[in-house]
Amino acid sequence: MTIRSILTFPNPELRKIAKEVIKFDSALSSLADDLLETMYEFKGIGLAATQIGVHQRIIVADVSDEQNEPYIFVNPKIKILNQEEKGGYDEGCLSIPGFYEEVVRPLKVEIRFQDLDGKEKKIIPEGLLGVVVQHETDHLDGKLMVDYISSVKRQRIRSKLLKQKK
């Protein structure tokens, strides 16, 4: 297991759309291990492969208090179950360190995905896990939480992060 570097906004790599995973092998398992290890190291509750510069459709999450209930979603697909029921949540992002913004998302979604063996699965995540899965799946589609906020706020965050890099 290796702790990877996390790309930060506005790195253009974060805008690339991830490709579907077609090979379920030891390299995929290693990638999942690296994602989990990196997420835990940086005190996150979710991480997408895109955030470490790997453009494959795989995300990990762990919203448990003890950080001992990891989820691995390969090729996740989200279906909104109730378009009217939405809620705001203060979201943070390992690729946008130090910033939290309210993002409004559907409260009830179904996620269809494959496990590391390629087996098809489906869950209806509750609460925070549902938010995390939507946030991380956005990463696979080149979308960031700053895309949900005003352009003025987005530009301010961009400027601050670029300044920190210098």
CB-based contact 90:128 (threshold 8 Å): no
Q: For the chain, how many residues are written?
A: 166
* Rounded CA separation 155/161 (Å): 10
98-116 pLDDT, tens digit each: 999 899 999 999 999 999 9
Reply yes or no on whether 102 is catalytic: no
Q: What is the mean pLDDT of residues 71-97?
A: 93
Which member of 69, 101, 120, 136 is catalytic?
136
Of 47, 62, 68, nearest in space to 125 by CA: 62
The rounded mean pLDDT for the chain is 94
7-57 pLDDT, tens digit each: 999 899 999 999 999 999 999 999 999 999 999 999 999 999 999 999 999
Q: Cis bond leading into 10, ω under 30°? A: yes
Topology, domain 12-165: Peptide Deformylase (3.90.45)
CB-based contact 122:133 (threshold 8 Å): no
